Amino acid sequence: MADAPATFSALINTTKRVYGPRIEEQVNKSAFLYKLFDEDTQADFMGEGWFFPVTDEGGQSIGNYGDNEELPDSQAETYNLAKIDTKQAYATIQVTGKAIAATRKNMQAFLKAKQGEIEAKTKSLISDLNRQCYGDSYGTIAAVLSDAANTMTFGPEVNMLWFRKNMKIDIFDSTRTTKRNGTAGTKKEGRLITVINYTTRTITYSGADLSASIVTGDLVFREDARLNLAGTVEGKELNGFRFIADDGTDSLATFQNVSRSTVTVWRGNRLFNAGVLRPLTLDLLQQLVDSIMVSSTEEPTHLVMGFGQRRMYLNTLWYDVRYEPQQLKGGFKVLQYNNLDVLVDKDMLPQQVLCFAKSKVKKYELQPLGILDHAGVGAERIGHFDTYEMLIGMYGNLGATRPNATGRLGDLSEP
């Protein structure tokens, strides 16, 4: 029997084949962090973003004075206007007019097949949004360690699950201004990933070989994620925790329109070790938790780590059998650390542990994820083609009202 058709239209046009009730998905597209955060329903949307005031240190016209002594001059409170920009994420579905005509006598089969592709594309988009929740201000997927003919190799600090087969990527120099696979500002020049080798930590891409121009430290992005953006301009992807829980080291110094250079309370807590790896310990975890409580007075609620750091964490508890897994909605399980939920996510960056107070980080959504049907027609014909397209997407961002209630512990050795 021939292989099953890969596209939706081909599936519709296939006859005399009996398929099972569902397609068995082979790729891990689970998404945890993106689904964890609530949508903020109180922030005001004005124009192109959400705005709210942020206080700095405040006026210091206070003190103890003697009877009838001159009091200090008053000082005005200092306010900054924070802004959470709207980002757009999309997934497209195409079907030919012939496929639609062929199913008019069996519209139920057509709707089921269409629903299957909608669900698959939505799941893929949510999975990528989950990846973006850990990103920096630029949309960087990885830094290149070395390269050869049509291949690139990445170091242990890179999460290889951020790459997907058939994903298109752009490669820029370390300043994010020179595009290795074309001209900066030109669309659709990305290289297609054909093979991902998780053991050797390499990807293979199609098209002309770029090994003569790629150097160690070059940066990989999704295709057109930095189109027409200067090297130091914020990218198109969501605010990720490498941006939120940062002090300007791994991302831009300006976060949500407020400078962390001048407003130091707007910094996340970044606990790294100058690039020297060390094993995860309970003392380091406590330092992370304490730094958040000291800088923000907030009680953190969640710790997030990858599978490697979970093993390191469990190894520290081998002598203590008092920890118990907890069941969360959606089938996810967590451990506990000092009343914090310890979560494991496939998209978490290796060599790091994330900590935050959940109430201070939310999703800000102008348009929740779903079918974008502004014209009210469901699907629109692509000009000059007998092909119709549906669009899935969302308008929103991940934002923090108190970034100092977040923190990252880094430079951790992986088992």
Same domain, 196 and 222: yes
Range in 42-46, 88-92, 172-176, 246-250 with the lowest mean pLDDT: 42-46
306 and 387 share one domain: yes
Mean pLDDT within 405-414: 98
Residue 213 to residues 27, 124, 155, Cα–Cα distance (Å)? 32, 32, 19
Residue with token string 């914090």: 340
User: Are 288 and 326 in a shared domain?
Assistant: yes
Name the token pair of 316: 């520290």
CB 79 within 8 A of CB 54: yes
Look at residue 158 in the predicted model and tell me its pLDDT.
98
Percent with pLDDT over 70 in the chain: 80
- Per-residue pLDDT tens digits for 89-134: 999 888 777 766 766 666 555 556 567 778 888 899 999 999 999 9
* Domain match, 214 and 253 both: no
pLDDT (tens digit per residue) in 341-395: 999 999 999 999 999 999 999 999 988 998 887 766 567 778 888 887 888 999 9
- Do 317 and 379 fall within a single domain? yes
Domain count, the chain: 2
As a whole number of angstroms, the distance between CA 42 and CA 415 comes to: 43
Higher pLDDT, 280 or 72: 280
Q: Are 169 and 264 in the same domain? A: no
Q: What are phi and psi of 234, to 5 degrees?
A: -60, 140
- The set of residues, in sequence order, having a beta carbon less than 8 Å from that of 351 and lying 6+ positions away, is 156, 157, 277, 309, 410, 411, 412, 413, 414
Amino acid identity, residue 47?
G
What is the pLDDT at residue 45? 61
* Judgement on whether residues 104 and 245 belong to the same structural domain of the protein: yes
Most confident of 11-15, 46-50, 233-237: 233-237
Is 326 part of any domain? yes
Q: Which of 180, 201, 233 is the last residue of a domain?
A: 233
| 3-state secondary structure labels for all residues of 205-273 | ECCCCCCCCCCCCCEEEECCCCCCCCCCCCCCCCCCHHHHCCCCCCCCCEECCEECCCCHHHCCEEECC
Locate tokens 């079918």: which residue? 371
Please indicate, yes or no, whether residues 227 and 251 belong to a single structural domain of this protein.
Answer: no
Domain match, 154 and 206 both:
yes
Read off the pTM. Answer: 0.85
Over residues 301-339, the pLDDT tens digits come to 999 999 999 999 988 876 554 445 555 443 445 678 888
My answer on whether 251 and 274 are in the same domain is yes
Domain final residue, candidates 233, 265, 283: 233
What pLDDT is stored for residue 384 in this prediction?
A: 86
